[in-house]
Amino acid sequence: MNERYSRQELFEPIGIAGQKKLKKKHVLIVGAGALGAGSAEMLVRAGIGKLTIVDRDYVEWSNLQRQQLYTEKDAEQRIPKAVAAKSRLMLVNSDVEIISHTMDVSVKEMTTLVNGVDLILDASDNFDIRMIINDISQKERIPWIYSACVGSYGLSYTIVPDSTPCLNCLLEAVPMEGLTCDTVGIISPAVQMVLSIQIAEALKILVEDSTQLRKKLISFDLWKNHYSSIDVGKLWDKDCPSCGKNRTYPYLSYSSQLKTAVLCGRDTVQIRPPHPVDRDLGKLSTVLSKLGREVFRNPYLLSFTTSDCRLVVFNDGRVLIHGTKSIDKAKSLYHRYLS
């Protein structure tokens, strides 16, 4: 007899019936960094039926301190996080259907990704994506869990359409900008604390035990020994454009999509073509080599260095330009080498 989930089934709120429900559920994780990697592993070990992981970045050495799915080999070979995560997770539980996408998430992608999804987990690094998740969640009536951590601080909030205030209602109560992992660092216990809260809430939703959901925003600072639980029910705005009576879903409008963006806390600009591009990395490698550029290439991306920046080109046409926060400079480099 397979006892893989026996200890989880002994936990009365889940039991055998809950385990069967888990097997039928589909979770979408947006982002495969520290929170995304940890959430994915917990859900795969718990026996989720289907998991979709989406991330736009690749594994770097600075990730290994807290992003538990990745190895030194992944960093050396600059493997996209979604690819590396799937490879590792398939070794953890081969019974789970795992789908991975190396892509930047915008409105168009989210509209497709949420088909058949029972829960969305936020593991992203910016509010542009979070607000798109928030609106698509309200429009499609899919619950989602907002989480974030930096330094020794973390927070999490579970959003259930028509049952709780949405993130748009909380905009004045939740910090929109500020410190990032790349400016003040992060310790892994803060990640693990957020993961514990987020996945506990996720399991409640997935086994359909909604009465036990925590309807408060949780925040903490492990280093300063601070912990708070905020009742946000009074912040529910009946005129909210995302979840109110006359919904317009403002963050799903085409004008809300950014084609060029400075990545969270990093000296990096991402440039995304207005339309999907199937970039021929082999041909590009040949051209750049003739220009005297030293090129690194794997099946998913190509990178090369100019005098003061490093450009990473993905198969889908996206380019990360490391070493600058100047969008104008990034555009200039993009047009010089890739147009």
Closest to 140 measured CA to CA, from 233, 28, 215, 22: 28
Distances (CA, A) of 238 to 84, 94, 138, 143, 273: 43, 45, 13, 18, 37
Known catalytic residue at 243: no
Kindly name the residue from 166, 169, 181, 243 that is annotated as catalytic: 181
Q: Which DSSP string do the residues of 260-328 spell out, in sequence order?
A: EEE-TTSSEEEE--SS-----HHHHHHHHHHTT--EEE-SSEEEEE-SS-EEEEETTS-EEEET---HH
| Amino acid letter, residue 114 | V
SS (H, E, C) 162-180: CCCCCCCCCCCCCCCCCCC
CA–CA distance, 132 with 164 (Å, rounded to integer): 17
And the tokens for 191?
């990640």
Phi, psi of 293 (to 5 degrees): -90, 135
Q: Which residues contact 239 (CB under 8 A, 6 or more apart)?
A: 245, 246
Residues 312 and 262 sit within 8 Å (Cβ to Cβ): no
Q: What is each CA distance from 326 to 21, 262, 269, 322, in whole angstroms?
A: 48, 8, 7, 10
The structure tokens 């073509």 sit at 273
Cβ neighbourhood burial of 231 (10 Å; 0-12, 13-18, 19+): exposed
- As a whole number of angstroms, the distance between CA 77 and CA 61 comes to 11
Are the beta carbons of 107 and 132 closer than 8 angstroms? yes
Active site residues: 181
